[in-house]
Chain A
Amino acid sequence: MTYDTYIADSEKTGTQRVVDPETIGKILDKHSRDQGALIAILEDIQAEYGYLPEEALRMVGKRTGRSLVDIYGIATFYHAFSLEPRGRHLICACSGTACHVRGAPKVIEEFERQLGIKAGQTTPDGEFTFQTVNCLGACALGPIVVVDGHYFSNVKTAKVKKILMSAPVEGDRIEHAVA
């Protein structure tokens, strides 16, 4: 594998993003070379591309001297990292115990219905990725839904539509990166 630019095939989102060594290099320069920095590096890469492209991980491995499998292990360990291209907006609905008893299953169902996808999938237009997570630590406010880092509490099925409408306006964290 070379440092050559690489077209991240992201059929799912319909967007094409070149993973260029320069961007990765810049991210790497920001961080120290020690072990602990790896997660921060991966976070930055994910913020840049919306997911962790394979080629980017290979570059990180070569430049930090760590084996690819180490990096891959970390990337697959944390749910926050995704190896698949994600939609422009990430919706996480909590399906933890507390949220569950407070009505999360209905909310999740409603999201799936409105988006026309199942949890863990991305809409064909690349707009939304919908995920469920296990407890976000705000149980008393459940059911909790997080859209691009914005927390919505006490979500009822009736609120789902509003949340979906507000997503492109409010939490536009990865929009600029993917566009």
Chain B
Amino acid sequence: MISLKINGLQVSVEDGATILEAAQFLGFPIPTLCYMDGLSPYGACRLCVVEIGEGPKAKLVSSCTYPVEEGLSVRTGSLRVLRARKMIIELLLASCPQSKTIQDLAAAHGVRQQRFKQEYEDCILCGRCVRMCEQQMMAGAIGFRGRGQNRSIGTPFDVRSEECRLCGGCIYVCPACQLRCTYTEPDKAVCGGCANLPPPCAEKEAFNDRMCYMDPCVACEIEKQG
């Protein structure tokens, strides 16, 4: 067991746990986006920032990737953390303003302004789908490609991957394309377009080439045709 301080409270948690796991277990809320139970932590979105250390040495780290240390002092809701978190949400919102997940995050954390240019990206490169595909579906059909500005997620050589079984797992965990995949919980959907349609998964044959990286949204397409 490792003993550390979270928000001033002396606690002890199991060796090898991350700050996020410890905090969640003890009931300190930390918002996350790229983190997902059952997938390896990746540290892409930085939404789970917490402050560690004391005084001038204090620094911000992503709690989902930071393993607990003996004697560590963690603050999950200091002013600095709140400010950083808000900024991160504002930036995420700028790249993906149409995402229901990010909109909800913004609302929950009091982000009331949008100072950056909205990009309407359809991906925030959180890597959830990549890890889902590799670690849960054991496929490894999609992954990161390129670097920097040109980084993107997709299949090698931009052709349907032989490994892809059209399970749709990637879409299911995507926080950016929520709109496309809330058919199981229609009340959570934004446009509701898909609520009146059979789930795309059920009609797989008709949309064989669309399941992996569905672009455009199958539901929207059907609506257009009909």
Contacts and interface: CB of A to CB of B under 8 A. Distances in A.
A1 interface: yes
Interface in B141-188: 141-147, 155-157, 161-163
B162 A72 contact: no
Nearest to B145: A76
A132 to B, nearest CB: 15
A23 interface: no
Given A1-B162, A68-B156, A73 B144 contact: yes
Main secondary structure of the interface of A (DSSP, over half): helix
Given A1-B162, A72-B156, A72-B157, A67 B143 contact: yes
Interface string A50-85: 000010010000000001111111001110000000
Contact-residue bracket for chain A: 10 to 19
A25 B190 CA distance: 52
A76 B150 CA distance: 10
Contacts of B77: none
Contacts of B145: 69, 72-73, 76-77
Nearest to B133: A69
B147 A76 contact: yes
A34 B163 CA distance: 22
A16 to B, nearest CB: 20
**Minimum-distance CB pairs A-B, first 10:** A67-B140, A69-B143, A72-B156, A68-B156, A76-B146, A76-B145, A77-B147, A69-B156, A73-B143, A73-B144
Interface of B: 134, 140-147, 155-157, 161-163
6 contacts: A67-B140, A67-B141, A67-B163, A68-B161, A68-B163, A76-B147
